[in-house]
Structure 1
């Protein structure tokens, strides 16, 4: 069952939904909400269990599943009255965006994948995620992520030259709720290979990747570009895994240029074939 997510939003027009990384919140998209508001309606949810969205009841028997998060995103579109949207995500947000593309291809107008990958976890990686889930629940604290994950979320340039970004990323990790962490880790451990989803994609895609990402190599981004029929790749110099926060200016330029192309194509399609009926109603 879908959960109602807390959302921050700005602007009007074509909806652009941006999904945050693990274990951060929609606050990581503040720069993008401001930079894109004159072009489109930017919606940034706190995914279930993070930020101001409700934590999970881990006693529920349904296994954690990224499809549940995709259902939450579809419910956000319904709430704002949109039938279709551009869906984007960074890292875990990218996994959820790909889950949305698989589950709701008819509701997808474009896909933005930042510092993420389509492959499922290896058995060892999945086991490590489940171990982290058990640890944070046992300790009632995100300590293990603060100590082991947070330093990997930003690149070497950010580590030496952008202390404010380092502080903000670390702060968000420290605020993460143990049940949200555990549920998301178990859901990511169980995720499928999204390669077939990307190969079958019939909407434009933008891939954004930091060249200092220590968690996902740049070759993965290049592989996604090759796999998707209509995809562009923007490589951000001096950015690590959380590229939207580390080099927001460069991230915004790439996203803005691509969104303008999507809007131009949308306008041309409407001119040729009439209004596409992308709006359902204003909730």
Structure 2
């Protein structure tokens, strides 16, 4: 399998001092940027991107610290703050000629997308988030034994040193655990793609940990400040997620609506990696969002 998105051109786009993003660009029409999650690369969007490219300009980057994008060393809390990563995405789109664009993210990419929508509302026309909660809400609903499902959040929240060493020592087992445990249909991630996710993650342990560490610190501070100020996402928002709210005892739609009054909230039977397991479902939801 060719480990690129067929029909897409690849380029490196500078977005910050010493930081360039690897981005696949294809199609023609109104622009949409697709952001991947953990422990993946831009390839997770390969099916959805190809479909959307029939009538949209589709931009699919590797996030800062992931895949073939640059991985700056963590220099304080800002390096991998979602605010910084969101600014990367806005600069990426502007470099490619798009001052306004739709934005969809999965998992970690969804957290970046939400921050972009809050920080750059004039740039984001539509916003989609796949299988995640906003950072502050996520930490607030985790408690007791139920929080064991998110053990990796607590591991990577620790100060630099120990989490990186532990993950480096068994990187394939660590990242492979999530690819296996979170997949409803293992056939959705072919062995070539799975191996590429593992290879890319092995090479990005410090930056992946820094990304998660930021979500246990500076990202919460930014969300709290926005909540206190009554900030909301003014654009049409679509959320697609598994119904794990019923399992953990919270109302996901209610949590999202506090941030996004113009919300289309959907649940799916697909596993966490829904853009690969159920690309038709995700594509239809995105097309419905873009029509709003």
TM-score over 0.5 for the alignment?
Answer: yes
Give the Cα–Cα distance (whole angstroms) in 1 for the partners of residues 274 and 160 of structure 2: 25
The residue that corresponds to 1:208 in the other structure is 240
Aligned twin of 1:184: 211
Superposition pairs of residues 225-240 of structure 1, within 5 angstroms: 225=257, 227-237=259-269, 239-240=270-271
Matched, 1:151 2:151: no
Name the counterpart of 1:172.
Answer: 197
SS at structure 2 position matched to 1:83:
coil
Give structure 1 stretches of 5+ with no counterpart.
263-283
Distance in 1 between the 2:134 and 2:40 partners? 20
Range moving further from structure 2, 33-42 or 215-224 = 215-224
Structure 2: how far apart are the matches of 1:21 and 1:132? 22
Runs of 4+ that moved beyond 6 A: 212-218
Partner Cα separation in structure 2 for residue 146 and residue 97 of structure 1: 23
Task: Output the TM-score relative to the length of structure 2.
Answer: 0.75
Report how far residue 236 of structure 1 moved.
2.2
Q: TM-score under structure 1 normalisation?
A: 0.77
Q: Does 1:84 align with 2:111?
A: no
Tell me, in whole angstroms, the C-alpha distance in 1 between the residues paired with 2:108 and 2:249: 15
Deviation at 1:72, TM superposition (A): 0.8
Aligned length: 254
Residue 67 (structure 2) aligned to one of 51, 69, 83: 51
Give ranges in structure 2 of 5+ residues lacking alignment: 1-14, 144-150
User: Superposition pairs for residues 1-283 of structure 1, below 5 Å?
Assistant: 2=16, 3-58=19-74, 60-61=75-76, 63=78, 64-120=80-136, 121=139, 127-131=154-158, 134-135=161-162, 137-138=164-165, 140=168, 142-143=171-172, 145-146=174-175, 148-155=177-184, 158=185, 162-165=186-189, 167=191, 168-169=193-194, 171-176=196-201, 177-190=204-217, 191-192=219-220, 193=223, 196=227, 200-211=232-243, 219-221=251-253, 223-225=255-257, 227-237=259-269, 239-259=270-290, 261-262=291-292
